[in-house]
Amino acid sequence: MEFHTQIEAARKGIFTPQMQNVAQEEHIAPEILMQRVAAGTIVIPANRNHKNLRACGVGQGLRTKINVNLGISGDCRDYMCELEKAKLALKYDAEAIMDLSNYGKTNTFRKQLLELSPAMIGTVPMYDAVGYLEKDLRDIKAKDFLEVVRAHAAEGVDFVTIHAGINRKSIDSFERSGRRMNIVSRGGSLIYAWMKMTGNENPFFEYFDDLMDILYEQDVTISLGDAMRPGCNDDATDAAQVSELVELGLLTERAWKHNVQVMIEGPGHMTLNEIAPNMLLEKRLCHNAPFYVLGPLVTDIAPGYDHITSAIGGAVAAAAGADFLCYVTPAEHLRLPSIPDVKEGIIAAKIAAHAGDLAKGLPGAREWDNRMSDARQKLDWDAMFDQALDREKAEEYFKSTNPTDKHTCTMCGKMCAVRNMNRIMNGENVLLK
């Protein structure tokens, strides 16, 4: 029986090799997985041309996944450095990598990334349009944008962020809202600028059905981008953000009719008390499609530490139903991240994702923590390092000082509560000298 996409296969009762891999890794019953893929509440981004992909599921009842952004800019054009960042993302088991390169001809790098990565690869074709088409933004025609998407799909990209929800209706809400930070989405701002300069409708909205035909052909998942995401806490959950979310919900249903898989991108900055309501709102308006959040950053005052502000928000979002977290590095708002920045961002996002899984009671999440606790109770340092999210850092910290008693660390020494409880409960004396 012929099919092009994972959602189409599920609707036809076909259990694909990609579904089998997800079912095994997530310990989910095949029939439940197939039902959720068919309903669109789980996506398995898996371009037919990404040959070495390790299929991964995102959505209802699955582990919270993380994405790592990388790519060159006009000011930083070192592709080799970006490949090293990709290798680091794979080392720490990031499930997705997005190439956000926005300068020159990027397809050579993208092909190298696809050959290297078993993780799913995403792009924002709008970033590539000017370099690919060799035209100024104003001179690009509506159908030209679709050709860039077609090229990315043919190369093997597993998901694309498309800002299709920013249309004449939604920008009316934005223009009347008096936002503090206007539009902070790079792709969204380019679409808005093109619309204002040409007087035309958003091409991705106007030709949405044609776009779906392109994505359907190679099974590219559409990540419906949030052009109107808040860029500061003061703009969160305003008319512009919510009006676009309504449009994204309508576009989700249209994409499903084309048998195209859908994710929804979510807010960037908002205070802690707004995060859970926003998760519920997205699930309600977008029919429980998987939610991919960009943070959220819970305060705007910590440049240099935004991997922490993001991890706080990401943990709350994941606990409240977000399915996919985009990492944020310490360099956010300041520069293109370095390799050390990327590592900090990955670890922070992984912590947030796992914290969310614990809160949701995801099967297997607590067992990992329990293995660490058992190792700590036994003062088994090697076992602790084995369970550590970042073994290298944990081992480096421990070995950087020399405790008198090798079974303790230099924080408590012989007053270590774990050591002394183990002794006293075994009927031994506690000796502090």
User: Tens digits of per-residue pLDDT, 27-56?
Assistant: 999 999 999 999 999 999 999 999 999 999
Name the phi and psi angles at 88, rounded to 5. Answer: -65, -40
Whether 141 and 63 map to the same domain: the answer is yes
Question: Among residues 330, 360, 390, which one ends one of the domains?
Answer: 360
pLDDT digits (tens, 9 = 90+) for 84-141: 999 999 999 999 999 999 887 788 999 999 999 999 999 999 998 888 888 999 999 9
Whether 267 and 146 map to the same domain: the answer is yes
Q: With DSSP H G I counted as helix, E B as strand and the rest as coil, what are the percentages for the chain, rounded to 5?
A: 50, 10, 40
pLDDT tops 90 at residue 406: no
Domain presence at residue 54: yes
pLDDT digits (tens, 9 = 90+) for 242-295: 999 999 999 999 999 999 999 999 999 999 999 999 999 999 999 999 999 999
Binned at pLDDT 50, 70 and 90, residue 1 comes out as low
What is the reported pLDDT for 402?
A: 85
Range of the domain at 299: 6-360
What is the reported pLDDT for 433?
A: 73
Q: Pick out the residues of the known binding site.
A: 69, 98, 127, 163, 185-187, 226-229, 265, 269, 292, 333, 409, 412, 416
Whether 320 and 400 map to the same domain: the answer is no
Whether 356 and 381 map to the same domain: the answer is no
Whether 334 and 385 map to the same domain: the answer is no
Whether 209 and 338 map to the same domain: the answer is yes
What is the reported pLDDT for 403?
A: 84
Question: What global pTM score does this model have?
Answer: 0.95
Domain presence at residue 1: no
Question: Among residues 333, 360, 387, which one ends one of the domains?
Answer: 360
Domain presence at residue 110: yes
CB 92 within 8 A of CB 343: yes
Residues in the chain, total: 433
Give per-residue burial for 113-150: e unless 16+ CB within 10 Å, then b: bbeebebbbbbbbbbbbbbbbeeeeeebebeebbbbbb
Q: Pick out the residues of the known binding site for substrate.
A: 69, 98, 127, 163, 185-187, 226-229, 265, 292
Whether 81 and 224 map to the same domain: the answer is yes
Q: Pick out the residues of the known binding site for Zn(2+).
A: 269, 333
CB 328 within 8 A of CB 306: yes
* Per-residue tokens: 259: 């048998």
Domain tally for the chain? Answer: 2
Whether 70 and 152 map to the same domain: the answer is yes
Whether 383 and 325 map to the same domain: the answer is no
Whether 248 and 385 map to the same domain: the answer is no
What is the reported pLDDT for 102?
A: 83
Whether 356 and 414 map to the same domain: the answer is no
Domain presence at residue 433: no
Binned at pLDDT 50, 70 and 90, residue 74 comes out as confident
Whether 253 and 390 map to the same domain: the answer is no
Residue 187: count of CB within 10 angstroms of its CB: 23
Question: Among residues 360, 385, 403, which one ends one of the domains?
Answer: 360
Q: Pick out the residues of the known binding site for [4Fe-4S] cluster.
A: 409, 412, 416
Domain presence at residue 365: no
Rg (C-alpha) for the chain, rounded Å, is: 23
